[in-house]
Amino acid sequence: MGASPIVLGIESSCDETGAALVRDGRLLGQALASSMDEHARYGGVVPEIASRAHLHAIGPAVRAALADAGLRLADVGAVAVTTGPGLSGALQVGVAAAKSYAYTLGVPLHGVHHLAGHVAADTLEHGPLPNPCMVLIVSGGHTSLLLVRDVARDPIAHLGDTLDDAAGECFDKAARLLGLPYPGGPAIDRAARDGDPSAVAFPRPLTGPRDAPYAFSFSGLKTAVARHTEARGGAVAVGDAAASLQEAVADVLTRKAVAACREYGVRALVVVGGVAANSRVRSLAAERCAAAGVELRVPPPRLCTDNGAMIAAVGDLLVRAGAPAAPLDVSVDPSAPLEYAALCPVAAGRV
Ligand code: KG4
Ligand code: ZN
């Protein structure tokens, strides 16, 4: 019917400032500013630089998203914002902006869990999520296998998480060891095109018969890359190492995700987060899902990495599910565990 309100979504948890408008599962307009280039020479995100960049970018990003949608601020009927997890100072910029918009417009504010945003991003491309579905979240800070039912209403069940580094973190650190630029994931993906994925026998951590079936561990892989480069001095075949690392990561991720679908009798796998942009993760997931008779959903790469649309998408789901608004004194929660899509750290009853 198109009667639900237009949701403005704001994302500022790391180095991307995103704003977008979503209604009824449709992306109406969006804008994205990145401070990635400012961090490149430090080899990783510098929180203070990220916060400052968000401060400069947030107003223009909201205006650009509205212009992209052909809408005015007065058309916004609800505001959704990432309240965690992420960098504290960076989150605070987005939350302060979102509160200002919600307060001045007199519309509800919804605090959103960043990772739920990654999950919801897929709905903008492929429509409502199947219930239930298996979700593999692979980002710079998180790697988890989740059993998701109604993402706006039900608790999210974690079948397994990484015990140490996230998959994206492994790519970022390994890229540094291989002399590739930040962010490492895309650089490894590019370098791997010219490499042989079977050149280096990197380990497949936690895939033994006695290992936790759905837990992940990637710090050993990073160490294996360090050993490999040390052993060869300056003479590393970067393409081969990148391709072999990418193969090891993609193998472990997709093997576990498809096994979880089988064990739980779930017919759909959704792969989301920055690492879902990886070409080998995508192709191996497609291959293995097809073999297992599992439907695979992966958002296009631009919706895998951080953006405002994914947060607006969660806001839209929450609004349509009739979720209560967050109070205007909602605070950021930099290390929030993923339990529900809505994240209201000051609200009573959900601690
Ligand atoms: O989801 P995201 O944009 O931010 C977080 O919430 O962390 O994920 C960023 C991560 C980084 O570690 C980046 O290196 C990785 O996603 N990444 C990739 C690719 N594109 C981004 N990793 C592998 N291959 C890619 N093409
Ligand atoms: Zn993210």
Q: Which of the ligands is closest to the CA of residue 246?
A: 1
pTM: 0.94
* pLDDT of the residue at 2: 54
Phi, psi of 295 (to 5 degrees): -75, 130
* pLDDT of the residue at 79: 98
At CA 48, angle to CA 38 and CA 10, rounded to 5?
85
Ligand 1 is surrounded, with C-beta below 6 A, by 14, 139-141, 168, 171-172, 183-186, 189, 273-275, 277-278, 305-306
DSSP code for 86: S
Q: Which of 82, 137, 139, 176 to mutate to test the pocket of ligand 1 (most atoms within 8 A of CB)?
A: 139
Q: For a pLDDT cut of 90, what percent of the chain falls above it?
A: 92
β-strand partners of 294: none
Which CATH number does 6-120+304-320 carry? Answer: 3.30.420.40
Query: What spacing in Å lies between the alpha carbon of 313 and ligand 2's midpoint?
Result: 14
Which atom of ligand 1 is the closest one to the Cα of 172?
14
* pLDDT of the residue at 40: 84
Over the chain (351 residues), what is each successive 10-residue block's mean pLDDT?
Answer: 87 97 98 93 91 98 98 98 97 98 98 97 97 96 96 95 97 95 95 97 96 97 96 90 98 98 98 97 98 98 95 98 95 94 66 42
Residue the block writes with tokens 């026998």: 201
Q: Which of 275, 284, 338 to mutate to test the pocket of ligand 1 (most atoms within 8 A of CB)?
A: 275
β-strand partners of 269: 134, 296
Q: Are strands 143-148 and 157-161 parallel, antiparallel or unpaired?
A: antiparallel
* pLDDT of the residue at 346: 62
3-state helix, strand, coil in the chain (%, to 5): 45, 20, 35
Q: How much is the mean pLDDT over the chain?
A: 95
Query: What spacing in Å lies between the alpha carbon of 136 and ligand 1's midpoint?
Result: 14
Taking the alpha carbons at both ends of the chain, their separation in whole angstroms is 36
Tally helices (H) and strands (E) across the chain.
11, 10
Q: Which of the ligands is closest to the CA of residue 193?
A: 1
* pLDDT of the residue at 1: 52
Query: What spacing in Å lies between the alpha carbon of 332 and ligand 2's midpoint?
Result: 16
CB 80 within 8 Å of CB 325: no
Query: What spacing in Å lies between the alpha carbon of 339 and ligand 1's midpoint?
Result: 22
- In the chain, CATH 3.30.420.40 covers 6-120+304-320, 128-298
**In this structure, how many other beta carbons lie within 10 angstroms of the beta carbon of residue 262?**
12
**CATH homologous superfamily for the domain 128-298:** ATPase, nucleotide binding domain (3.30.420.40)
